[in-house]
Structure 1
Amino acid sequence: SYSLPASFIRAPKIISYGSSTEVLAMSNGSPIIIRNDKHLGIAFHPELDNISALHEYIFIGRKTNK
């Protein structure tokens, strides 16, 4: 289990997703990060809390996982 700050300012809420979608993070019982193949859904603003790990994953890490 890993904890990170998350700012939910007018962020969308993930209310449904398909069976092939992987939930990567939850908050209060709701998914806040999901992944489906090459698509990533994030229900908060990581840039407001200086969380660079998500940006590194999106822009650097995924290049090696094509």
Structure 2
Amino acid sequence: MNLEIADEEARELRIALDIRLREMRNELVHTDDHAYRADLRRSLERLEKIAQKVGGSGPG
């Protein structure tokens, strides 16, 4: 699947992804539920890959 978006849209998407990734990392640190932690980690890894494709500073 290919998604064509304008540069401005890509910047907005990257900002949204950065915010969500930061929230997920914080949640990951504070959860004790091992199954939830594993699911969260997999989701986080997928979103980090998407963020790299969109461009920008990378995980942070």
Q: Tell me the TM-score normalized by structure 1.
A: 0.29
Q: Tell me the TM-score normalized by structure 2.
A: 0.30
Which has the larger Rg? 2
Higher strand share: 1
